[in-house]
Amino acid sequence: MKIRLVKRIVFTFASVVLLASCGSGSGVSPTTGWAYDDPAWGGFESASADEQQTPPGMVFVEGGNFTMGSQQDQVTYDWNNVARKVTVSSFFMDECEVTNIAYREYLDWLRRVYPDYPEVYRRALPDTLCWRNKLSEDEKMVDYYFRHPEYAEFPVVGVSWLQANDYCAWRTDRVNEAILIDAGILELNVEEQNNDNVFTTDAYMAGLYEGIVNEPIPDLDPNSQGERVARMEDGILLPKFRLPTEAEWEFAAWGLIGNTIEERQIDRRVYPWNGYVTRSDDKKYYGQMLANFKRGRGDAMGVAGALNDHWVYTNPVTFFFPNDYGLYNMAGNVAEWVMDVYRAETTQDAYDINPFRGNVYMTKVLDADGLISEKDSLGRIAYREVTVAENINRNNYKQADNINYLDGDLASQITSNWKGAAEEAGDIDIASSGEDLEEGTAPKTVTDGMYAYGNSSLVSDKARVVKGGSWKDRAFYLSPGERRFLDQSKSACWIGFRCAMDKVGFQEAHD
């Protein structure tokens, strides 16, 4: 009897090994022979990898390498975007700029869900007074542009970089909540969500938001309660919505899938289309404007009976032709916020794969037991910057804030005239930045000293890159390689934004 039992065990294990392969599709571990998704074998779960769904309102942008930087003479003499070859991963991007009606939906949610915190709603309001000009009559835009239904499908403006990021976070949570509702995991729960009892993706995955559970996900761990929330490992929830990086925005604007054969670029573009400011490659549209911009001094839209771009200010977000990725208004209409902190030298310093300046590494706040701390009054998980002590054994980074790396940090200032005096006075503070300089003192921060912030420059750690031309710009800024900047807390009537999302896994779109 014992011999037979041993033989059966050996045979069973051999069968498991034979069934296992380099992949996990068989439901058996190829490295241990243990069964996946089986409580009797410990309940390790192995969700199959499905193609990432295209987020609402977005299109897929297949990545690759391209020549990033200015493609025309620098009439502004900035020389802040020297051409160089970089590679960008595939990603998703909004087909159009975020519209007035989309942003009003966001505001309505904030007003309804946070009745005890009206300042949250007020903080998110766009600055409609941005339309005012001391020597122009623009009160009609102040009064009507954001809220009148005629402007519903026009791009929202007067939104700061900080406000745009808050919108991206809100959109992440609403889309993921809708995914869970559509999957039958949660029930639609509008009436009971308010103040700290709201769905956020982080709080839900941390088990700090329950909602109304419709069909709980079975937990196969034999030591569990038998139910659990959705996890990232399930492949149900989408990655975060965010602003595109400067490299992503520029790559998407060029739309190089329309002028390449295999890996050869057959025509160097100046704008997001072949030719110049008219659609020169299609006889049906010869001579027509392809973007909303200012053709010359005093010429915002042409003459009566022959309007060239049809609009004196902004235009509806799908009015002009999209580029070869299907993206609208990647030139003209409104310029757009991107994630990056502005530095003139980033083009020479940044990594050649997914270049970006602005990394500040964060981690969730934990309690004394090592568990995620309770939500704040708005239902959000708290984050803090990582510390040098936590990263003491890391080789790739040490400190949280890497905005100034190679351009504004202490190592970049070895030959500074003021560095020695500032060190002696104890006035160098690497952790802070962007503060005004006091008369007669050494710079308060290394960034201040390098760029003379508040004296001869507006460059600080709060200066964010703005890409693309707008309705009030000349054709020069329609070229995707050009760049400008503005403080992250400020807004303008010519700046809007659109969202992006990472493409995980396979970098080509599945058929």
CATH of the domain at 302: 3.90.1580.10
Q: Are 63 and 86 in contact (CB under 8 A)?
A: no
Residue 375 Cα to chain centre, angstroms: 24
- Comparing CA positions, the residue from 499, 487, 432 lying closest to residue 457 is 487
Q: What is the mean pLDDT of residues 258-284?
A: 77
DSSP character string of 276-335 = SSB-TT-GGGTT-B-S----BTTBSSEETTEESSS-SS---TTSSPP-TTS-S-SSSS-E
> In the predicted model, is pLDDT for residue 374 greater than 60?
yes
Cβ pair 119, 111 in contact under 8 A: no
Residues 246-272 as b/e (b if ≥16 CB within 10 A, e otherwise) read bbbbbbbbbbbeebeeeeeeeeebbbb
- What CA–CA distance (Å, rounded) separates 290 from 386? 46
On whether residue 400 sits in a domain, the answer given is: no
HSE on the CB side for 62, CA within 13 Å? Answer: 10
Lowest mean pLDDT among 104-108, 113-117, 451-455: 451-455
pLDDT at residue 378, as a whole number: 94
Residue 13 has a pLDDT of 36
Question: What is the mean predicted confidence (pLDDT) over 312-337?
Answer: 94
Look at residue 379 and tell me if it is in a domain. Answer: no
What pLDDT does residue 441 have? Answer: 46
> What mean pLDDT is predicted for residues 346-368?
91
Q: Has residue 304 got a pLDDT over 90?
A: no
Which H or E element spans position 103? helix 100-113
**Secondary structure of residue 241 in the 3-state scheme:** strand
Kindly tell me the burial class for residue 406, based on how many C-beta atoms sit within 10 Å of its own C-beta (0-12, 13-18, 19 or more): middle
Looking at residue 354, the DSSP 8-state letter turns out to be S
**Cβ–Cβ under 8 Å, residues 170 and 109:** yes
Sign of dihedral through CA atoms 207, 211, 216, 217?
negative
Neighbours of 294 (CB within 10 A): 20
For residues 373 and 366, is the Cβ–Cβ distance under 8 A? yes
Do 36 and 64 belong together in one domain? no
Asked if 126 contacts 147 with a C-beta cutoff of 8 angstroms, the reply is no
- Considering the domain architecture, whether residues 104 and 29 belong to the same structural domain is answered as no
- Tell whether 37 and 63 lie within a shared domain: no
What's the pLDDT score for residue 210? Answer: 86
pLDDT score of 17 more than 70? no
Does residue 157 sit within a domain?
A: yes
Tell me: pLDDT of 423 over 70: no
**Higher pLDDT residue, 243 or 410?**
243
- What phi and psi values does residue 251 have, to the nearest 5 degrees? -60, -45
Q: Specify the pLDDT at position 448.
A: 64
pLDDT value at residue 410: 57
The answer to the question of residue 374 being in a domain is no
- Exposed, middle or buried by CB within 10 Å (0-12, 13-18, 19+), for 192? exposed
More confident residue, 427 or 493: 493
Q: Is 346 inside a domain boundary?
A: yes
Q: What is the mean pLDDT of residues 69-73?
A: 78
**Predicted confidence band at 434 (pLDDT cuts at 50, 70, 90)?**
very low
Mean model confidence pLDDT for the chain: 84
Assigned domain for 465 exists? yes
Residues 354 and 480 in one domain: yes
68 and 6 within one domain? no
435: left (phi over 0), alpha (psi -120 to 50) or beta: beta
- Poorest-confidence range of 131-135, 274-278, 309-313, 368-372? 274-278
Q: Which residues span the domain enclosing 286?
A: 58-358+411-502
Q: pLDDT at residue 106 above 50?
A: yes
Residue that wins the pLDDT comparison between 494 and 506: 494
Residues 161 and 217 in one domain: yes
Instruction: Read off the pLDDT of residues 194-224 as tens digits, 9 standing for 90 and up.
Output: 999 999 999 999 999 989 999 989 999 999 8
Are 269 and 351 members of one domain?
Answer: yes
On whether both 26 and 102 belong to a single domain, the answer is no
User: Of 49-63, 87-101, 284-298, 426-440, where does mean pLDDT reach its minimum?
Assistant: 426-440
Residue 131's SS3 state is helix
CA 122 to chain centre: 23
Q: Say whether both 24 and 63 belong to one domain.
A: no
Mean pLDDT of all residues in 384-404: 92
Q: Give the pLDDT of residue 281.
A: 66
Q: Per-residue pLDDT averaged across 221-241, rounded?
A: 92
483 part of a folded domain:
yes
Q: Tell me, letter by letter, the H, E, C secondary structure of 245-292.
A: CHHHHHHHHHCHHHCEECCEECCCCCCCCCCCCECCCCHHHCCCECCC
Enter the DSSP assignment of 216.
P
Mean pLDDT check: name the lowest of 13-17, 38-42, 358-362, 476-480: 13-17
How much is the pLDDT for 80? Answer: 75
Query: Per the domain annotation, does 387 fall within a domain?
Result: no
Task: Tell me, yes or no, whether 35 and 156 share the same domain.
Answer: no
Closest C-alpha to 271, from 498, 481, 485: 481
How many domains does the structure of the chain reveal? 2
Residue 22: pLDDT band with limits 50, 70, 90: low
Residues 21, 151, single domain; the answer is no
Q: Which residues contact 248 (CB under 8 A, 6 or more apart)?
A: 61, 88, 91, 93, 338, 500
144 and 35 fall within a common domain: no
Contact 491, 163 (CB under 8 A): yes
Kindly state the percentage of the chain with pLDDT values over 70: 84
